[in-house]
Amino acid sequence: MIEPVVRTTRRLRGVLLALTLLVLMLINTLVLIGPMLLIALLKLLLPGKRLKNICSKSVMWIAETWAEIDKAIFALLLPTRWDIRGIDDLRRDGSYLVVCNHQSWVDIPALIEALNRRTPYFKFFLKKELSWVPFLGLAFWALDYPFMKRYSREYLARHPERRGMDLEITRRACEKFRHMPVTIVNYLEGTRFTTEKHARQNSPYRHLLRPKAGGLAFTLAVLGQDLDAMLDVTIVYPGEQTPGFWALISGQVPRVIVDIRTRQLDAKLWQGDYQRDPAFREFMHRWVARLWEEKDDRIEMLKHAGTAD
């Protein structure tokens, strides 16, 4: 009789905690999105590159402040311990390529906890459709998030002339980040990990989906010489199941491990033509496969260590 009451009480506390967090995060967003959108409109209207750059920096400062306030809310209300490793040498004036495994919406708060105000505010590649979302689309544009148009295999079969266009869009999107501090986040798996996707792909890795080298190759082709390093980020959730965002905000995630390895990039990675040179394409595939093998081993090690702690 007591046990069901305890479970119900815990569930109710979790719901109340989640709702409190959502309200506070909403207030934070509503307070700061107004100034961000105003500056975004100014950026659209003002002439000259210098004024537009000032607007971009102002928008970044607002975004970082929003993230810091959310971090403070999480620290105040959640029991989650963010076990972040490898951040001592990160610089806000550096440029980084972040390569990270992808399992859950919790990955984004984990990256914010690890990187916000330690590196330049990071950029994600977003689906083109998100540019039309009211308010958010303008905010994403102001933040210089690159928008991608992805084509399905069926569409490419009907329109072969479009093959390679998504990679060309990647190249053009990255041009604006040349010669300025930036952190580009690249999820090589292209989607969140699930056991169903893992089985469907027949992935050779225990904890990862098959990586895609094309987007990475084009990002390096444009930005490689301007990058200070690659941040090899591995996110691990100790336990049997990967938590969702509701589990996080309702206090059900005791610990998140964010392991960061800073890797110097070999100039060979951007000195070939990924689309037209089969030998270079094979070189990139081998390099990514080695990276993914090491990450898979690291996840296995961190999972066992995290369970034992």
| List of residues 6+ apart from 209 with CB closer than 8 A | 189, 190, 191, 193, 197, 198, 201, 203
**For the segment 56-75, what is each residue's pLDDT rounded down to a tens digit?**
888 889 999 999 999 999 99
Q: Residues 168-199: pLDDT tens digits? A: 666 676 777 777 788 989 889 888 899 999 99
Position 166 pLDDT exceeds 80: no
Q: Which residue has the higher pLDDT, 268 or 157?
A: 268
pTM of the model: 0.87
Residue 111: its pLDDT value, please?
A: 95
DSSP string covering 77-140: H---EEEEES-TT--TTS-EEEEE----TTHHHHHHHHHBTTBSPEEE-EEGGGGGSTTHHHHH
Average pLDDT over the chain reads 86
Nearest Cα to Cα of residue 94 among 66, 125, 118: 118
The CATH classification of domain 80-308, taken from the options 3.10.28, 3.30.110, 3.40.50, 3.40.1130: 3.40.1130
